[in-house]
């Protein structure tokens, strides 16, 4: 099939999934009685939007959490029309790219048809739990990006471009919710060790740290300007960074919620796939690393005790690879194969 035609069809499929999700959103302006379906938090966003327009400070408290207005930036969509239309468009754009990167991650391990099925299962079901305020959608998007960057490097080795983007992901998460950024720090340490063990030395090994530094600088400049303009760097440190890190805890309770959900079955599926592929002589190093990534994420998510219910849904981004790897066992018998790309 023509490459451009294939890409177009893939984008149309992603768009179709996005529309399905968007139609179920409480911000869909064409839902009868949409105003009545909004939560108190969603109404609070409208108030925040008005406050921003009136010159309110850059940080607000919402749903018991203190964070940047950017964290709830969807609220700005209300200001143009005083309806949900602009908000709905903004939300749909974020959903589209979230779905796209889930699909791109799946496609690294299985054929396009199965990758599409993985994407539908991981994004459509229970999506409503990610739309109560918009912030969770942003974190799901960033986690989906991170999963793609990690999967590419596990499968193809060190790629400076994806290390650079991984550092940007970290900066954005740290700006939005510092408690979750621990997971990205674990990834940085892991890749530093992995690429060393893979035999990269000298200039090639230093490229890893240079890429990290470049990514951090890229995201720090706009963050710094944001804090400087609103003159609230101290508030960011005290009320966002220190506040979030001090409120980590409830590990036992959090672990009981995150680790015992239907989605955790995909971790067991991954273990079975690893065994089958290892017996068959296939390389499973990348899948073993991904299993470790899942374990690390569960531990970090479990520390977010006051927000752990939301993280149950966000953690679905981690299970894309196990699902796709399971389908990869069917590719060969059916004469299918993952997309081959050179890096």
Which of the pair, 287 or 122, is modelled with greater confidence?
287
Query: Phi/psi at 65 (nearest 5 deg)?
Result: -125, 140
Q: What digits encode the pLDDT tens for the residues 213-234?
A: 999 999 999 888 877 877 777 8
Asked which of 8-22, 154-168, 223-237 is least confident by mean pLDDT, the reply is: 223-237
Treating both helix axes as pointing N-terminal to C-terminal, what angle do 285-302 and 320-331 enclose, rounded to 10 degrees? 160
The 3 state secondary structure assigned to the chain is CCHHHHHHHHHHHHHHHHHHHHHCCCCCCCCCCHHHHCCHHHHHHHHHHHHHHCCCCCEEEECCEEEEHHHHHHHHHHHHHCCCHHHHHHHHHHHHHHHHHHHHHHCCCCCHHHHHHHHHHHHHCCHHHHCCCCHHHHHHHHHHHHHHHHHHHHHHCCCHHHHHHHHHHHHHHHHHCHHHHHHHHHHHHHHHHHHHHCCCCHHHHHHHHHHHHHHHHHHHHHHHHHHHHHCCHHHHHHHHHHHHHHCCECHHHHHHHHCCCHHHHHHHHHHHHHHHHHHCCCCCHHHHHHHHHHHHHHHHHHCEHHHHHHHHHHHHHHHHHHHHHHHHHHHCCCCCCCCCCCC
Q: For the chain, what is the domain count?
A: 1
- Which residue range is the domain that position 303 belongs to? 3-329
Question: 12 in a domain, yes or no?
Answer: yes
Question: 151 in a domain, yes or no?
Answer: yes
Question: 338 in a domain, yes or no?
Answer: no
Question: 276 in a domain, yes or no?
Answer: yes
pTM for the predicted model, two decimal places: 0.87
pLDDT at 260: 76
pLDDT at 140 over 60: yes
Which of the pair, 337 or 146, is modelled with greater confidence?
146
Which of the pair, 29 or 13, is modelled with greater confidence?
13
pLDDT at 272 over 80: yes
Question: 275 in a domain, yes or no?
Answer: yes
In which band, very low, low, confident or very high, does the pLDDT at 46 lie, cut at 50, 70 and 90?
low
In which band, very low, low, confident or very high, does the pLDDT at 180 lie, cut at 50, 70 and 90?
confident
Q: What digits encode the pLDDT tens for the residues 304-326?
A: 765 555 666 778 889 999 999 99
Which of the pair, 123 or 148, is modelled with greater confidence?
148
Which of the pair, 111 or 312, is modelled with greater confidence?
111
Bridge partners, 59 (sequence order): 68
Supply the mean pLDDT for the chain. 82
CA 316 to chain centre: 9
pLDDT at 343: 52
- How many CA atoms does the CB half-sphere of 117 hold within 13 Å? 11
Question: 341 in a domain, yes or no?
Answer: no
In which band, very low, low, confident or very high, does the pLDDT at 133 lie, cut at 50, 70 and 90?
very low
pLDDT at 75 over 70: no
**Token pair belonging to 183:** 């997971």
Question: 162 in a domain, yes or no?
Answer: yes
pLDDT at 165: 95
Question: 343 in a domain, yes or no?
Answer: no
How far apart are the C-alpha atoms of 144 and 191, rounded to whole Å?
Answer: 18
Which of the pair, 82 or 294, is modelled with greater confidence?
294
Which of the pair, 336 or 239, is modelled with greater confidence?
336
Which of the pair, 80 or 223, is modelled with greater confidence?
223
Give percent of the chain with pLDDT exceeding 70. Answer: 77
Q: Which of 45-54, 66-75, 253-262 has the highest mean pLDDT?
A: 253-262
In which band, very low, low, confident or very high, does the pLDDT at 67 lie, cut at 50, 70 and 90?
low
In which band, very low, low, confident or very high, does the pLDDT at 71 lie, cut at 50, 70 and 90?
very low
pLDDT at 193 over 90: yes
């Amino acid at each position: 099939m023509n490459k451009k035609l294939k890409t177009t069809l893939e984008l149309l499929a992603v768009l179709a999934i996005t529309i399905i999700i968007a139609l179920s959103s409480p911000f869909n302006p064409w839902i009868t009685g949409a105003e009545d379906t909004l939560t108190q938090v969603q109404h609070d966003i409208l108030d925040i939007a008005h406050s921003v327009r009136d010159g309110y400070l850059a940080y607000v408290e919402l749903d018991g959490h203190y964070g940047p207005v950017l964290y709830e930036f969807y609220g700005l969509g209300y200001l143009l029309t005083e309806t949900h239309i602009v908000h709905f468009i903004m939300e749909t754009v974020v959903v589209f790219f979230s779905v796209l990167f889930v699909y791109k991650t799946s496609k690294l391990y299985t054929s396009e048809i199965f990758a599409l099925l993985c994407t539908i299962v991981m994004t459509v079901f229970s999506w409503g739990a990610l739309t109560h305020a918009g912030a969770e959608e942003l974190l799901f998007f960033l986690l989906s990006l991170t999963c793609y960057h990690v999967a590419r490097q596990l499968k193809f080795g060190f790629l400076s471009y994806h290390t650079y983007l991984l550092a940007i992901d970290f900066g954005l998460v740290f700006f939005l919710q510092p408690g979750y950024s621990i997971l990205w720090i674990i990834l940085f340490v892991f890749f530093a060790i992995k690429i060393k063990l893979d035999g990269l030395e000298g200039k090639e090994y230093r490229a890893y740290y240079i890429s990290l530094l470049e990514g951090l600088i890229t995201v720090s400049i706009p963050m710094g300007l944001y804090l400087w303009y609103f003159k609230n760097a101290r508030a960011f440190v005290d009320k966002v960074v220190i506040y979030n890190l001090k409120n980590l805890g409830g590990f036992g309770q959090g672990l009981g919620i995150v680790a015992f959900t239907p989605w955790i079955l995909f971790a067991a599926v991954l273990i079975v796939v690893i065994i089958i592929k290892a017996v068959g002589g296939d390389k499973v190093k990348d899948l073993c690393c991904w299993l470790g990534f899942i374990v690390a994420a569960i531990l970090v998510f479990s520390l977010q005790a006051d927000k752990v219910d939301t993280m149950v849904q966000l953690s679905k981004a981690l299970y894309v690879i196990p699902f796709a790897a399971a389908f990869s066992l069917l590719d060969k018998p059916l004469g299918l194969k993952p997309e081959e790309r050179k890096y």
